[in-house]
A and B are shown apart, each in its own frame.
Chain A
Amino acid sequence: MLKTNLRQETRKLNVTESVFRKILYLTGICIVVLIFAIFLTLLISSFPALKTFGLRFFYGSKWDPVSGEFGSVPFLVGTLITSFLALLISIPFSLAISIFLGEYFREGIASSLLKSSIELLAGIPSVIYGFCGIFILVPLVRAIEMKLGITPIGVGILTSSIVLSIMIIPYSASLGREVIQLVPSELKEAAYSLGATRYEVIRKVILPYARSGIFAGILLSLGRALGETMAVTMVIGNKNAIPKDIFSPANTMASVIANEFMEASPGSLHLSSLVTIGLLLFVVTTVIGIIGKYIIKKMSVEL
């Protein structure tokens, strides 16, 4: 029998236990507080700009720190075009990878090789992508522009979209692979037993079934593309105007913040406007992320 001083030990136990549980509870609360603090900080610092411009901020197309006129349309356009163009370019590749890994080559050397290269692609930092973009892609685009008779600057929407597309492939590819792998084999076997070819099974059974998961993966990629900063900043050309075509230099929401934040004086309308753009980024990426997770959750319930 263990000899214990019953009352003392009981009291000590109760205190330690409740402290422990309280600390755990507090860590949870801290995360919630953190998110709210982030949102509030962005909101408060955006206030001067929002008060001055109101909704004009979101449809004005002139961004001029000198005259104090700040409209965010050039960056909204820049962001939207580069992100969607990047998505467009990346979707065939990520879909192919999803089908490759999820259907044709689930195991084996080819599978491990591709999986590793996707992981590596995802692990390369944005700044290195940008660096390689400057030295490899920009001269390439410049050559194309010269052939087409356009001013050969090399940087611009097209270049940044291409770099962006490579960066976001891993995200939709991984998710796509997972949902394709989860398609029940009974469904596939039913189709095969009716004489379908593999292509037909993929196209008519697997892809429709995995549709929402693939879509969620695309949303995930979109969220990443919208917030991507460094690589885009380095190859987009830093021009605060609405791009005329895909060879024009431009700026995205993220890249204008990266380029101008340190130049803006603290407390100025310029800085507040940049923070407002940051707030917009926060809201948009959060909403897209939540929609994506909601779709994934619905899918896993159905499965």
Chain B
Amino acid sequence: MSEKGISFRIAKDIIFKGLIILFSVLSGIPLIIILYFIVKNGISSINWEFIINLPKPVGEIGGGIANAIIGTLILIGISSILAIPMGIGTGIYLSENKRGKLPYIVRLCVEVLQGIPSIVIGIIAYAWIVIPMKSPSALSGGIALGIMMLPVIIRSTEETLKLIPNSLREASLALGVPYSRTIMKVIVPAGLSGIITGILLSVARITGETAPLLFTAFGGNFMNLNIFKPIASLPLVIFNYATSPYTEWISLAWGASFVLAVLILSLNLIAKLVARKWKVQF
């Protein structure tokens, strides 16, 4: 083998590694840019009035996003109430029935559900709730978001419970504890940290969702606590104000983006902490 051949191959090796590093680093640049702009433009909009005021009409300064913050929280509440019991229940069902025809079909359906574009879920919630109610509402938005939370909760519950060793179940059954109590009082508590992590991650996912809310929760400029009426939310505010031509509204949108980003980041961080600190040792 010639000297020239080897040094050429070595050169290729070094160039390749360089390219890999380059492209990997480049992929981090959009993140830095986005975070920079959110922080720079967002922080300047944030003040106490911003948090507790309602949006003002165009031309007036000092509007806020109080209704959007409350709206987001209400939507999270509704979707969680719907998705958490259902999600955990299905997760338990799947972890307890590893084989069989129905579990297979259910798993398939969960995967399909996870892949459905969020705007299609919005159409569904529109058809099921908005049309019969003849009005957009927080309820329909919450249901759309709840449907989107389901696959994440089901998956993480199933995965967590599958990891729990069988010896725990046997210990409980051998004491004469019925199956239902063994599951609910021994197995599920042992897997609680994983289940809660899944819930937090699913909430983080839907907090930023806009598409399903476009025709369900619909948004609004007023404070609304009635779940049968339209309701504002942070992502909707960002969408509506970012595409508007008014500079006051655009800075509101930056502020809302900042709040939203902080909210989602915190949820993800708390999820990580829960996973690490509350993990049960076997």
Residues of A bordering B, CB below 8 Å:
13, 16-17, 20-21, 23-25, 27-32, 34-35, 38, 41-42, 45, 92-94, 96-97, 99-101, 104, 113-114, 117-121, 123-132, 134-136, 166, 169, 173, 197-200, 202, 223, 226-230, 234, 254, 257-258, 261-262, 266, 274-275, 278, 281-282, 285-286, 288-290, 293
- Is B109's CB under 8 angstroms from A128's CB? no
* Residues 19-68 of B at the A interface (beta carbon under 8 Å): 19-24, 26-28, 30-31, 33-35, 37-38
Interface residue B264 (Cβ < 8 Å from any Cβ of A): yes
Contacts of A127 in B (CB 8 A): 208, 210, 235, 238-239, 242
B105 touches A32 (CB 8 A): yes
Contact with A along B205-217 (1 / 0, CB 8 A): 0011111001100
**Interface residue SS majority, chain B:** helix
Q: Is the CB of B268 within 8 A of A119?
A: yes
Q: Is B278 an interface residue (CB 8 A)?
A: no
B115 contacts A254, CB within 8 Å? no
Of all A-B residue pairs in the complex, the 7 with the closest CB atoms, nearest first, are A125-B208, A227-B117, A96-B23, A20-B180, A27-B89, A289-B115, A197-B13
The answer on a CB contact under 8 Å between B106 and A202 is no
Query: What are 27 A-B pairs with beta-carbon distances under 8 A?
Result: A20-B179, A24-B89, A24-B92, A24-B96, A29-B102, A38-B124, A92-B23, A96-B27, A120-B265, A121-B27, A123-B204, A123-B264, A124-B264, A126-B211, A127-B210, A128-B34, A128-B260, A130-B242, A173-B27, A197-B13, A227-B118, A230-B211, A234-B239, A234-B243, A257-B123, A266-B131, A290-B111
A286 to B112, CA, bound (A): 6
Cβ contact of B90, chosen from A27, A104, A117, A282, cutoff 8 A: A27
A262 touches B34 (CB 8 A): no
Choose one: B21, B89, B118, B265; the contact of A123 (CB below 8 Å).
B265
Closest chain B residue to A227, Cβ basis? B117
Determine which of A25, A125, A254, A289 lies in contact with B209 in the assembled complex, contact meaning CB atoms within 8 Å: A125
Question: For residue B92, which residues in chain A have a CB less than 8 angstroms away from its CB?
Answer: 24, 27
User: A23, B118: Cβ atoms under 8 Å?
Assistant: no
Asked if B16 and A199 make an inter-chain contact with CB atoms under 8 angstroms apart, the answer reads yes
Closest residue of chain B to A129 (Cβ to Cβ) is B34
Contact of B38 among A20, A128, A262, A278 (CB under 8 A): A128
State whether the Cβ of B277 lies closer than 8 Å to any Cβ in chain A: no
Q: Which residues of chain B come closer than 8 Å to A25, judged between CB atoms? A: 93, 102
Q: Which residues on B sit within 8 Å (CB–CB) of A135?
A: 37
Contacting A at CB under 8 A, from B93-138, are: 93-94, 96-97, 102-103, 105-106, 108-120, 122-124, 126-128, 131
Asked whether, in the complex, the Cβ of A169 is within 8 Å of the Cβ of B239, the reply is: no
Which of chain B's residues have a CB closer than 8 A to the CB of A93?
A: 23-24, 26-27
Residue of B nearest to A100 (CB): B24
Q: Which of B17, B94, B211, B261 contacts A128 (CB 8 A)?
A: B261
- Is the Cβ of B109 less than 8 Å from the Cβ of A121? no
Inter-chain contact A31/B106, CB cutoff 8 Å: yes
| CB of B154 closer than 8 Å to a CB of A | yes
Using A38-B124, A125-B235, A132-B33 as known contacts, list a sample of 18 further A-B pairs with CB atoms less than 8 Å apart, ordered by residue number in A: A17-B178, A31-B90, A31-B113, A31-B154, A32-B105, A113-B28, A117-B28, A124-B34, A125-B209, A131-B257, A132-B34, A136-B37, A198-B13, A227-B116, A227-B118, A229-B117, A254-B119, A278-B119
A30 with B90, Cβ < 8 A, contacts A97-B27, A258-B214 known: yes
Chain B nearest Cβ from A12, distance in angstroms: 10
Q: What's the Cα separation between A262 and B120 when bound, in Å? A: 14
> Are A285 and B117 in contact, CB atoms less than 8 angstroms apart?
yes
CB pair A282 B120 closer than 8 Å: yes
Cα distance A224–B27 when bound, in Å? 18
**A230:B210 contact, CB within 8 angstroms:** yes
* Nearest B residue to A255, CB-CB: B119
